[in-house]
A = this chain, B = another copy of it.
Amino acid sequence: MPTSAERGRHVRARLLQAAAELVAEQGWNAVSTRMVAERAGVAPGLVHYHFASLPALLTEAAVQVMEGVVDGAAHGLSQARTAAQALELMLADLDRYPGDDPASRLVSEAMLASGRDEGLRTAMAGLLERFRARLGDRLAAQGVPDPRGTAAVLAAALDGMMLHRSLDPELTSTAVAPVLGRLLQDGTPGTAQEGHP
C-alpha cells in the first residue's frame, strides 16, 4: 500500500514525463499547464502544487531526459576499442535520434529555450561538457590528434546532422561515415593550420 507521499512522487514523475513529451510535440512555449495535467491524467491545479512555475517544470523535465541521452551515448562509447569503432557507435546513435523523434526534438527545443532561461543554460552547458570530456578521452586513447578539439567539433557535427536530417532524410549514417572518418586520421602537416588555444 503506497503512502500518500509516495503517490505524490509518482504523480510528480508522470507530470515530468508528460511535460517532456509535450515539449517535443508542440514546442517549448506552446505547452500549457492544463495540457500537461490532462496528459498526466491529473487535475490542472496539481501542476503548481508540485512545481513552482511552468518554466521550472519544463526545465526539470528537459534536463532529466537529456541526462539520459548523454549518459546513454557516453556509455556506449566507452566500449569502443578503436577510433573507427567509436565513430561507428556515434553514428549508431545518430540513427537512434533521427532528428524528428521526441528525444531529438526535446534536445533542440531545450537548446533554443536555454537562450532565454539562465538555469536551463547552465544545466545544458554542463551536460555538453560532460559528453565532450568522455568523447575526448576516448579519442585520445586512440591517438587521434587534438582529441579535445576534435571531440568538440564532432559533438557539434552530430547535433547539426540531427537537425539537418529532418530536412533531408538521405543524410544517413552510412552517407556521412566516410566523410567523418577523415576527421579521425592523422593530420598531414602543411595542410591543416595550427592555432588551437
Q: Which residues of A contact B (CB under 8 A)?
A: 26-30, 84, 100, 105, 108-109, 111-116, 121, 124-125, 128-129, 146, 149-150, 152-153, 155-164, 166-168, 170-172, 174-185, 187-188, 191-197
Contact = CB atoms under 8 A, between A and B. Distances in A.
Nearest to A179: B153
A175 B195 CA distance: 7
Contact of A128 (B156, B167, B182): B167
B121 A167 contact: yes
A105 B114 contact: no
Given A153-B161, A175-B195, 13 more contacts: A26-B116, A27-B116, A124-B167, A128-B164, A149-B175, A152-B168, A153-B179, A155-B160, A156-B163, A160-B160, A172-B197, A178-B192, A178-B195
Nearest to A149: B179
A115 B25 CA distance: 9
Contacts of A166: 111, 114-115, 121
A41 B27 CA distance: 28
